[in-house]
Amino acid sequence: MEFGDQMRQLRKREGMTQEQLAQSLTVTRQAVSNWERGTNLPDIETLIRIATTFHVSLDLLILGKGESNMDNTNIAETGKTTGEGETLESRMAQKLIRDGSEGRQAHSNMVTVIVGCALMLMGALCVFVKANSVEYVDAAGVLHENFFLLPMAAAFFLAGLVTVVAAGVARIVRNSRHD
């Protein structure tokens, strides 16, 4: 049994309409309709809410294996192919892997941008210290100046800017590959 057929059967067992299920899952009715027609699959957070709503295990919901709290009958057949020749298991597994991978990439991108901003902030701090430090010539005629702060500020700021721009370009490239 396909995921969509399984969703429809679970929903009807609970006596819910698509609208009622959508409200309980905080999604649109069209999303529920798309799942039941097999044109789209829910993300992992929504799968967990579906399993909780219908009191079934994720194994039963995703793979068609496991036990339901409603009864012990297995309502899905594993290994059945879709119209494109791939199994429901492989489609769902690919979606879960892709969602996890996208989450890791977004987290990595966010960390990269934070590091870049921290580098630029360190550059600004160097400029601030240089502007507010006292420069003087001591009795021996030696100039005491924090001359190294300006090149350090430029290096920090440039490194931060390159990091942020690289993260932005990587994200644009990654998004263009998915479209």
Domains of the chain: which residue ranges? Answer: 3-63, 102-178
Residue 147 is predicted with a pLDDT of: 86
Rounded to whole angstroms, how far apart are CA atoms 157 and 39?
Answer: 47
Rounded to whole angstroms, how far apart are CA atoms 98 and 65?
Answer: 22
Residue 21 is predicted with a pLDDT of: 92
**CATH among 1.10.10.60, 3.30.700.30, 1.10.260.40, 3.10.129.10 for 3-63:** 1.10.260.40
Work out the number of other CB atoms within 10 angstroms of the CB of residue 155.
14
Provide the terminal-to-terminal Cα distance of the chain, rounded to the nearest Å. 30
Whole-structure pTM value: 0.47
pLDDT by residue for the chain (179 residues), tens only, comes to 678 888 888 999 999 999 999 999 989 999 999 998 888 888 888 888 898 888 888 878 877 665 554 443 443 444 444 555 556 566 766 776 677 777 778 888 899 999 999 999 999 999 999 999 988 888 898 888 888 999 999 999 999 999 999 999 988 988 887 65
Q: Which amino acid is at 174?
A: R
Residue 73 is predicted with a pLDDT of: 41
Residue 41 is predicted with a pLDDT of: 85
Work out the widest C-alpha separation in the chain, in whole angstroms: 94
